[in-house]
Structure 1
Amino acid sequence: MKLSAELRDFADRLGHDFARPELLLRAVTHSSISSPTRPDNQRLEFLGDRVLGLVMSEALLKADPDAAEGQLAPRFNALVRKETCAEVARQVELGAVLKLGRSEQMSGGRRKAALLGDAMEAVIAAVYLDAGLDAARALILRLWGDRIARVEADARDAKTSLQEWAQGRGAPPPVYVEVARDGPDHAPMFTIEARLSDGRAARAKAGSKRQAEQAAAKALLDKVEMPDG
């Protein structure tokens, strides 16, 4: 089969020439438009998640031969989580080529982080099945770029750090309160406030509660760790 012009352009952005173009077509086909003759990308997503995990595990071990498992785990999680996969998907404009049902299109499916992250994993699997592990590894390392190099700083779990800060001072753990939710149902924005028992607090806004909680924790941690905090 031949790819459409938009999928050929997408393959160029990936930097991979598909010998089996039907794999790429399947990788960008969402379940909302699948049929018996048009399989969706869910099985590829399952495989791609494992390929991504293997490549990232290798990369992290190579980048820091002396790191303990406790140091490697949060870095790994930061690199393979759906939010990071979605960031990479946006980087290569994956949303523009997704095959979606009408309802999913109308609800903003091309911008949804979970959907983009799943599709990015499916694309990884498509490259793996098309050309093997070396090709998939090259794709992942190229697209993730300097994220691997800077992951130690990015992977710092602010919520854990803030809880350890409080416990170290004999205080109860911080609490997280949703103070606002804005935007349409398909793309909500959450405002979360992190609070310490002494009354100090900080707020942050993000597209998921998890991200907002982490950002609020970091803001509060920055505040309490200042010399006069």
Structure 2
Amino acid sequence: MLHELRRYDVAAGKLPALLDRFGSFTVHKWKEYGFRLIGFWTPLLGEKSNQVVYIWGWESYEERTRKNAAWRADPERARKWAETEQDGPLVNRVYNQLMEPTPYSPLDRGEPYGPDPATRAPYLFELREYQAMPQKITNISDRFANFTCDAFRKHGFRQVGYWLNRIGGNDHQLVYMLAWESLDERVARFDGFAKDPERARVFAESEKQGPLVQQVTTTILRPTAFSPMR
């Protein structure tokens, strides 16, 4: 399975119109074409608030190519785009990257990140992107596999998925997603993890030859009403 992370920079003032087009038309058409929509979000805070973020799942790159070609050739899609963009495009730019799940990714192992969404309020989701130091991406992934995932579990983190970038972006990137009941819960859980003496020991041991991570980017996401992942 491949996962495709897509981000749209939305034209000024066009976010409501774009979300309406996705919710009332696009996601329904995707189902007709056999697209697997994993989740759909808008950033909660900061300079990225005029974006939409979503993830597709593909069995193969060939499936992606074939289904996207059929979708783009759909005459109903062309009519809808023309109708909704009479006053200009809704999207300024699209970023996408194809990612491969790690062996320890809960999503691809069928492990739930929380109770049935019908029984609870929607979570907030956190997309975290680690840019590795040169030649250190394997070290980062191994540390997650052998320590961090278990430590996160011990400290009450809800882990959604872990991926390594394959196409788009760069090949020195680990991407993962967490789920939170609230921002306050996030702060408390990370504080507990940061103070864990075992974490300090493992991180010191794994970074004897220098740091593994060059940069961390994090985005807090709120699921839309039509997001399968909530």
* TM-score, structure 2 as length reference: 0.25
Structure with higher RCO (Cα < 8 A, 6+ apart):
2
Structure with bigger strand share is: 2
* TM-score, structure 1 as length reference: 0.25
Structure with bigger helix share is: 1
Which has the higher Rg, Structure 1 or Structure 2? 1
